Structure 1
Amino acid sequence: MDHATLEAAATWYVQLNEAPPSAALAQAWEQWLQASPQHAAAWARVERLQQQWRLVPRQAALSSLGAAQAQRRDVLKVLGLLLAMGAGTWLAAEQLPGRALLAQQRTGSGERRSLQLDDGTQLELNVDTALDVRFDQKLRALELYRGEILVTASVDAQRRPFVVHTDDGSILSRGGVFSVRKLASQTRVGVLQAAVEVRPQRHVQQVLQVQAGQQLSFDRDELDTPRPLPVDSTAWVHGMLSVNDWRLGDFIEALGRYRPGVLRCARSIQALSISGAFHIDDTDVALANLDKTLPVKVRYLSRYWVSVEPA
């Protein structure tokens, strides 16, 4: 992908995140996006970068020279990361998000997939997931770089343990059902059947067993306290997003994983509470139902730019 296209994508990203976009700006961005497959591919790389690193440029008023210079620095920062993602170098091969781009198994935005491994283990891959499968004579291992999986780990005839690694640590199972989601700065595991052992990367001597019906979040240094696993935590496998007393802002962020483009929620209504079950294969229907139970309205600046705002 050429440098100019990536720089244009980085510029659009910074401009669109500096303030709520006008209809004219959103329309211009969509016209650029649809003008070329190269543009769409560059923007897809921006979205992967955002999901992996939660990169959000700071607010800036573009009326001053200092703000314009700050915007240019943000553009160059994003551009540098985009170039690193695509480079055929050690950085791309060994560092996230480069490893994710080279992963054996991947799903894109809005794509979910089932996969059966050689040992009979069943995997369900949620949207925007990337992983490698590494089996040998002693160990069955997955390297999860991003996204979310549901694992139904078979009991191995060779008694090899099943391990899921992320850059936060590892989850070991000897047979059972569990989910793993790689978040921006931690990993979350939920156990549906049997139990797993969790170890943080920098303190592998610390081992915590997570039982069926529990979930646990951890990072490279420490393990949180196990909590009850929410009901329907893996409803995404069946095309549903089930929420109970969620913040609206968290719901919109979760729903945005299942649709292309940008889905935003106004800050003033992010704390509203929402419960229900929503189809993730048709997010427009889910959005259309919001104003029936909440004092909000859904504003479509374009097909790819949607805002949830106060009514």
Structure 2
Amino acid sequence: MTSMGNAARPGPDPQVVKQAISWALRLRNNRSNVRLHAQCEQWREAHQDHELAWQRVQALQQELSSQLTSIPGAHRALETSAQGLGRRQALKMLSGVLIASSAAWVSRDLTGWQRWTSDLATATGERRSIQLPDGTRLQLNTDSAVDLDFNPQQRLIKLVRGEILVTCGTSTSAPLLVQTRHGLLEGIDGRFSVRQDAECTLLSVVSGNVAIHSPHQADGLSTQVHAGESYLVRQTEVVPAPPINMDVGAWADGLIVTRGMRLADFLAEVGRYRHGYLGCSSEIADLRLSGVFRLEDTDKLLAVLPQTLPVQLRYRTRWWVSLERAV
């Protein structure tokens, strides 16, 4: 599939995440230091991303602790080992757990504040279907958010982040518009999906027609997209998308339907529906797979892969999963 992320807003700089980890370590080793606690509070209040990074690091620490409590003696062993490490080594170890194992989660879910401020939103792994006042059917994919502006003069859906599927009919009232950071789309009696990345918007028309109004088109004309066509809308251009090796709207039915898709790309797609790290070794990244996969339980979905490909699953924790070549 065309490379598309799912963050409508860049996550906090990795350095901010490292700072949050550093504060967590310092406070862990100096719980009674009032001045240090005050300094940490000042750092958290200095910027919104500081607080978001802090909350995510705390959540990840709690989840790691809950994983360890299920293993007798594991938590004590980890504490003993940590006491033998210097601050630099401890920071490196914790960074490896909290950043390397969940970098995708951190970059995505630290923007969870948008779920509270948007008109409609979904969490990671959640899908939602809504019928709008004009009869338009709006479906939100995992980790998505939209704002709505419907009045007698306009019908506007603003895609804040993620992916939507829109089914609209012919209307004599104001046109149905979908706004992304890269352009304005006008739906005309049909069904189409819109997926927004930091770099571009992917428009795929299932039925009907959609007009792309981009202020960056030199001739000032709109691009007409018909059923079966997909386009990439960037800040500087509107171009046909490369062939897509999955059904773009299958997620609305809780499915991923692939046709000769690279394993690495498939795992990136599945990773949108679960927390944590999901990846594979480079030696199996180019393996191809086709099939219909259900999304309601991604662990069950992953368990099917060794039955069709020469791979094996390796779970380090519930939220760190990697695939390697089967031995």
Contact 2:141 2:251 in 1 (8 A): yes
Moved more, 204-213 or 135-144: 204-213
Residue equivalent to 2:252: 237
Residue equivalent to 2:284: 269
Measure the CA separation in 2 of the matches of 1:308 and 1:231: 21
Residue equivalent to 1:294: 309
Measure the CA separation in 1 of the matches of 2:56 and 2:296: 29
1:255 partner letter? V
- Which structure is higher in RCO with an 8 Å CA cutoff and minimum separation 6? 2
TM superposition shift of 1:143: 0.4
Measure the CA separation in 2 of the matches of 1:134 and 1:34: 44
Residue equivalent to 1:92: none
Contact 1:213 1:229 in 2 (8 A): no
Residue equivalent to 2:179: 165
Per-residue CA deviation, residues 101-120 of structure 1 (Å, 9 max, x unaligned), is 52110000111011010101
Relative to structure 1, the CA distance from residue 97 to residue 201 in structure 2 (aligned partners, 3 Å threshold; closer, same or farther) is: farther
In the alignment, structure 2 segments of 5+ residues that lack a partner are: 1-40, 45-49, 69-87, 100-105
Matched, 1:128 2:161: no
Contact 2:245 2:261 in 1 (8 A): no
Residue equivalent to 1:309: 324
TM superposition shift of 1:293: 1.8
Residue equivalent to 1:202: 216
Pick aligned residue for 1:31 from 60, 64, 70:
64
Relative to structure 1, the CA distance from residue 274 to residue 128 in structure 2 (aligned partners, 3 Å threshold; closer, same or farther) is: same
Residue equivalent to 1:103: 118
Question: Structure 2 matches for 1:12-161, cutoff 5 A?
Answer: 30-32=63-65, 101-158=116-173, 160-161=174-175
Measure the CA separation in 1 of the matches of 2:315 and 2:67: 17
Contact 2:314 2:321 in 1 (8 A): yes
Per-residue CA deviation, residues 232-288 of structure 1 (Å, 9 max, x unaligned), is 321111111011111111100000111222212222321111111111111112111
TM superposition shift of 1:135: 1.3
Measure the CA separation in 2 of the matches of 1:240 and 1:230: 14
TM superposition shift of 1:304: 1.5
Measure the CA separation in 2 of the matches of 1:99 and 1:305: 25
Residue equivalent to 2:226: 211
Question: SS of the residue aligned with 2:125?
Answer: coil
Matched, 1:190 2:223: no
Relative to structure 1, the CA distance from residue 122 to residue 303 in structure 2 (aligned partners, 3 Å threshold; closer, same or farther) is: same
Per-residue CA deviation, residues 19-57 of structure 1 (Å, 9 max, x unaligned), is xxxxxxx9x67325889xxxxxxxxxxxxxxxxxxxxxx
- Structure having the higher Rg: 2
Percent of pairs identical after alignment? 36
Measure the CA separation in 2 of the matches of 1:122 and 1:175: 12
1:110 partner letter? G
Moved more, 297-306 or 99-108: 99-108
In the alignment, structure 1 segments of 5+ residues that lack a partner are: 14-25, 36-63, 76-81, 87-95
TM superposition shift of 1:174: 2.8
Per-residue CA deviation, residues 60-101 of structure 1 (Å, 9 max, x unaligned), is xxxx99x97xx8xxx9xxxxxx9xx99xxxxxxxxx887665
Relative to structure 1, the CA distance from residue 249 to residue 211 in structure 2 (aligned partners, 3 Å threshold; closer, same or farther) is: same
Contact 1:248 1:273 in 2 (8 A): yes
Relative to structure 1, the CA distance from residue 6 to residue 138 in structure 2 (aligned partners, 3 Å threshold; closer, same or farther) is: closer
Contact 1:188 1:217 in 2 (8 A): yes
Relative to structure 1, the CA distance from residue 125 to residue 212 in structure 2 (aligned partners, 3 Å threshold; closer, same or farther) is: same
Contact 1:278 1:286 in 2 (8 A): yes
2:285 partner letter? Q
TM superposition shift of 1:184: 2.8
TM-score (ref. length: structure 1):
0.69
1:129 partner letter? S
Contact 1:217 1:223 in 2 (8 A): yes
Residues paired across the two proteins, number: 247
